Structure 1
Amino acid sequence: MSALGRINLGVSLLFVLVTLIGLALLLRQASQDVRRELLAAEAVVEYLGEVARTRPASLRPELTDNLRHIRVSWLQPGEQPKVQSESAIEHWIAERLLGSSSLVADVWPLDDGRELSIVLDPFDEIEEIQDSLLQLLLLSAFALALSLLTIRFAVRRGLGVLDELLAALNQVGAGRFDTRLQHHGLAEAQRLAGHFNAMATTLQQVQADNAELTQALLELQERERTRLGQTLHDDLGQYLSGIRAQACLLKVVADRPQQVQDTALQLDHNCERLQHGFRRLIRDLYPVVLERLELGPALQQLAADWQQAQGIRCRLLLGERLPSLPLASKGHLYRLVQEALTNVARHADASEVRIRLQRRGQGLRLLVRDNGRGTQLPLRPGIGLRSMRERSRSLGGELRLHSRPQAGWALCLSIPLEATR
């Protein structure tokens, strides 16, 4: 059953219940009123019967025709009392209220041979009760019809908004993030459309950011491949070529000890340079130092190498009782600090950077702060900031960035220890 059908059914049942309660209350009150009036009428019937026995001539038709709830008839000899054409329902109600004996006519013979018939007549009152019940039923039916029409009009507008929202969600699910809802007159529909349009705008922006990030990652991959190829060709390749040439020279000058010694020294020097180049290349590709050192000593070595390479002072403060972390968590923290130092070297124009790692309650807190030029937030994040956010999310932590013009950058990362296990 549709939502509109369920609402109509619920409202109809509620109206039926209210109508039945109203009918019950009306019948109860009406029965009490009828009993009171008919009790009073019975006293009048007894009085008229007494008058009929003692002074029948005083009962004239013009006086008794307008009596309420009492029917007085003068019958000719052998004539039967006229039966009022009440319905079966009216007769049944009268019997329930008064009993069958109360509806039997009393007959008194008169001196002129006629007979006087006096009987209670509750059917006028019962007709009034029927009219009241009919008016209540008609009023309830009219109110129900009006309510159903109003609900249909109001719900149809709401369902129209929901249909538009469902269609828009299907379009968004299909990847059409430029879908927008039109504004309606209803305040709720306007808020719904506003929230949906804001969500679609965010998704569209995220899609654009993801496309931009993918393109930037591809470009970064190509740059890394180019740099790796140039390093292997220009640096390591040259040393290998020199080593090969010097090895060939050793064959030629084998009978000249001095030249053999000089060539051997050059071979040793080139091999050392080659070894340093390989270590530097491997360190850029993967921090092997994390496999044999804890995070604190690894960060000390990273800070020292970075300070020597960039010429920027780097102060590292390590707290006491630092926990032992798994290799994956150490790798994320190490890379995050490495990316933060890279951003300082590229963009901060700083002369000093401070790194602090300490334990705070049931978590770790990392702070990286420089004294560079800073910037005005919010800032559109690049690959570096996005990679740091992803690493902090992988660690289950919260990354916050603070910066002001001429006040440097501050990066704060809070990590629960349970997430690093």
Structure 2
Amino acid sequence: MSALWRINVLVTLFFAVVAVSGLALLLRQASQDVQREMQAAQAVVEYVREAALRAPASINSSLTDNLRHVRIEWLEPGQPPVEPDNGALDRWLAKHLFSDQAPPVLLPMPDGRQVRIAVDPVDEIDEVWDSLLQLLILCVLALLLSLLTISWAVRRGVRVLDELLAGLHQVAQGQLDVRLPLHSLPEARQLAGHFNSMASTVQQAQADNAELTQALLALQERERTRLGQTLHDDLGQYLSAIRAQACLLHAVADQPEAVKSTARCLDDNCQHLQDGFRALIRDLYPVLLEQLELDAALQQLTQNWQTAQGIRCRLLISEDLPALPLPSKAHLYRLVQEALTNVARHAQASQVRIRLQHQGGRLRLLVRDNGCGAQLPQRPGIGLRSIHERARCLGGTLQVRSQPGAGWALSLSIPLLETYR
């Protein structure tokens, strides 16, 4: 059963209860009114009976035809009285409304005829029936009007829901450019506005993901190119030199001085080769994290970065820094490394301050420079997205603030597990 049918059934039941309650109240009030009317009519019957007994000639048609709720019949000698032929509903209603009806009065007249005087509730019953029918007709008209209004309103709302379902279906199929039309209803307009905002956000997120994927692929190619050039131009040359010098040793084996000189060159080339491999491995994976705690690893990172970039870097680390698992240390290390890379590339700063503190069961990191800054918001690049992603992996809250001429400030708050506090 659809929602419209359920609403129609509930409204119909409501109106049925209201109609039955109204009919019951009307019958109760009508019973009291009819009782009063019939009591007054019974008094008239007694008055007419006494008048007929005193002066039979006073009972004439001009008097009897204008009496309300009193029926007077003239019966010929031997003629039986004729009872009114009321329907079953009229008899039921008369019994319900006026159950204590007095018997009719039968008076003999001097001319041999008889006068039958009785209370007649027919007019009152007709009035009650008219009131009941008017109430029923009013309830039926109100019910029909309500059902038509509800049907119009529900169909209008269902049309909005149908548009929303169709839009969600299109979004599920990847058609993120779908938008809902704005309706006059405030609720429908608000619903369409939220849907359109959601679709725009999802579309922008998809575009950002596509852009990020392209940037990551480009970065991957650049890293592969750099790695290939490093292996070929730097390490490859040292290996070629070592091989050439090894061949030279065979040629000058009978010349001690030449052997010593070649051995020294071999040692130098091996040292350069080892340094190159270490630098390459350090860039690919910070092995020192497995050997050092986070504070010592960050100190070495900032010192190497300060020497390489010529930018002053101040590092403040609290003494009660907890021991972190290796994945968390790696994320924090890479986050600081990416922040320093962004400073070197974009900030135009002369000084960077890094503070790592343990406060209130949380680990708080602050990286701030005195560079040129920028007006926020800006679309984040790969570096800032990488920082956000690492902060998400750490379960922390990241805030990035900047003002033109006031540098950049990166604030990260990470909750610590009980075992690491």
In which range does the TM-score fall when normalised by the shorter chain? over 0.9
**Cα distance in 2, alignment partners of residues 351 and 384 from structure 1:** 20
Task: Name the counterpart of 2:373.
Answer: 374
Moved more, 267-276 or 48-57: 48-57
Q: Is the 8 A contact 2:31 2:96 kept in 1?
A: no
Task: Name the counterpart of 1:288.
Answer: 287
Moved more, 398-407 or 261-270: 261-270
Q: 1:348 to 1:361 in 2, by over 3 A?
A: same
Moved more, 42-51 or 175-184: 42-51
Deviation at 1:105, TM superposition (A): 2.3
Deviation at 1:51, TM superposition (A): 2.8
Task: Name the counterpart of 2:146.
Answer: 147
Q: Is the 8 A contact 2:30 2:97 kept in 1?
A: no
Matches within 5 A, 1:345-360: 345-360=344-359
User: Which consecutive residues of structure 1, in runs of 5 or more, have no partner in the other structure?
Assistant: none
Note the aligned Cα RMSD (angstroms).
1.6
Matches within 5 A, 1:11-410: 11-99=11-99, 102=101, 104-410=103-409
**Cα distance in 2, alignment partners of residues 414 and 335 from structure 1:** 16
Q: 1:164 to 1:313 in 2, by over 3 A?
A: same
Determine what percentage of the aligned residue pairs are the same residue.
66
Cα-to-partner distance string for 1:122-147 (whole Å, 9 max, x where unaligned):
12111111111101111111111111
**Cα distance in 1, alignment partners of residues 222 and 240 from structure 2:** 25
Give the letter aligned to residue 160 of structure 2. V
**Cα distance in 2, alignment partners of residues 148 and 415 from structure 1:** 58
Q: Is the 8 A contact 1:76 1:114 kept in 2?
A: yes
Deviation at 1:83, TM superposition (A): 2.5
User: Which consecutive residues of structure 2, in runs of 5 or more, have no partner in the other structure?
Assistant: none
Moved more, 219-228 or 200-209: 200-209
TM-score (norm 2): 0.96
Deviation at 1:219, TM superposition (A): 0.3
Q: Is the 8 A contact 1:41 1:70 kept in 2?
A: yes
Q: Is the 8 A contact 1:395 1:420 kept in 2?
A: no
SS of 2:296's partner is: helix
Deviation at 1:420, TM superposition (A): 9.8
TM-score (norm 1): 0.96
Give the letter aligned to residue 39 of structure 2. L
Give the letter aligned to residue 36 of structure 2. R
Q: Is the 8 A contact 1:395 1:419 kept in 2?
A: no
SS of 2:101's partner is: helix
Deviation at 1:272, TM superposition (A): 1.3
Q: Is the 8 A contact 1:329 1:420 kept in 2?
A: no
Q: Is the 8 A contact 1:348 1:373 kept in 2?
A: yes
**Cα distance in 2, alignment partners of residues 265 and 406 from structure 1:** 53
**Cα distance in 1, alignment partners of residues 97 and 335 from structure 2:** 93
Q: 1:144 to 1:420 in 2, by over 3 A?
A: farther
**Cα distance in 2, alignment partners of residues 395 and 372 from structure 1:** 27
Cα-to-partner distance string for 1:63-104 (whole Å, 9 max, x where unaligned):
1222221111121111222332322111112123333x6264
Q: Is the 8 A contact 1:374 1:405 kept in 2?
A: yes
Cα-to-partner distance string for 1:338-357 (whole Å, 9 max, x where unaligned):
10000001111111101001
**Cα distance in 2, alignment partners of residues 146 and 185 from structure 1:** 23
Moved more, 349-358 or 179-188: 179-188
